[in-house]
Amino acid sequence: MNHHFYQWLRNYFGFSQTEIKGFFYLSILFVGLLVGVLYLKFVVPTTHYGESEKAADKALLVQWIDEIKQAQAQFAAQQALYKDSLQEVYEQKYAKKDYKNDEKSENSKQIVKKLFVFNPNIVTVEEMQQLGFPKFLAQRIDNYRQKGGKFKLKADLQKIYGMPADLYEQLYNYIDLPEEKTKDTPKEEIILTKNNLQKAIDLNQADTTALIKLRGIGSKLANRIVSFREKLGGFYDFEQLKEVYGLSPEAIAEIQSRCTLPDKPTVKQLNINTSDEIALKNHPYIGYKLAGLITAYRKQHGNYKEIEDLLKIKVMTQEQLVKMKPYLSL
């Protein structure tokens, strides 16, 4: 360091020897930083964030958002299925509980059980209990008959709500009814009313006026039946009437005895390759969650080749597919 310059700094600024050394080191560091900044700015090339990079990042962001939405929809669908399974388990447990309780009460009365050939259209409540029917079920069958219900085939007994499968199998050979319809059985029945003979009503064609004439069906229930039928696109089985809110087993039995359904009913179908999410979600058997998953899978994997391809959706079950299949097309 120049001695004169050193002496001048000491005299002019009043620096000590240590402070002068610090000043020089700081000056060197400052100059080095300045040179480094200039080097980075004018020598080292910088990357350019262009429109193509922006578009790629935007597409990636949209993909992530879609995946998050799909994950949320799947989770919600799984929750709904779990809730439905719990409800089903509860109902089965409740039905078994009723059956066991009724059995206990029957045992306390010491009803002698025996098997004999019987016609469910004329057998008495007491005789049904002797055959092994729970008291509540025997009374339910009797109520069904009093409302005008008739058993034409052995299998008709299974349509009674709460009928145990093991009891039906045990009594099958003792039921005095044909196993299936004969070829000569007409498709359209003649039903005896109080004053006249009336042709059976096609359940998919009946309006509220026709339904109100049936026993146990008021205006509210008639409107619910028609409304549910329109949302479905038509009934393909009488069992679907159990899904109409407020419709009792006796009312269902009345409808079944007074109405008909073709062997292969014509119902309105939804094309799973062209129907949008809104059209799909409005169907009672599909709903919002499954509709979103169906369209999302189609968007990701292309059109469905067959209806069974819906089972490739993780939350879709075989039971659900069987239920909705008559209403789907390609």
How far is Cα 330 from Cα 313, in angstroms, rounded to an integer? Answer: 17
What CATH number is attached to the domain comprising 199? 1.10.150.310
Is 28 part of any domain? no
Each residue of 151-161: pLDDT tens digit? 888 888 888 88
Query: In the chain, how many domains are there?
Result: 3
Same domain? 256 vs 286: no
Is 26 part of any domain? no
Each residue of 94-142: pLDDT tens digit? 445 555 555 555 444 556 677 888 899 988 998 889 888 998 888 999 8
Given 158, 179, 200, the domain boundary residue is 179
Is 49 part of any domain? no
Same domain? 190 vs 262: yes
What CATH number is attached to the domain comprising 325? 1.10.150.280
How far is Cα 73 from Cα 80, in angstroms, rounded to an integer? Answer: 11
User: Is 11 strand, coil or helix?
Assistant: helix
Each residue of 182-230: pLDDT tens digit? 544 444 444 434 433 344 788 998 898 889 888 888 888 999 999 999 9
Is 254 in contact with 238 (CB distance < 8 Å)? no
Query: Which tokens go with 140?
Result: 């339910």
How far is Cα 81 from Cα 78, in angstroms, rounded to an integer? Answer: 5
Q: Which domain holds residue 316?
A: 270-329
The alpha-carbon radius of gyration of the chain (Å, integer) is 39
Q: What is the pTM of this model?
A: 0.43
How far is Cα 205 from Cα 203, in angstroms, rounded to an integer? Answer: 5
Same domain? 174 vs 203: no
How far is Cα 174 from Cα 84, in angstroms, rounded to an integer? Answer: 36
Residue with token string 């009928």: 163
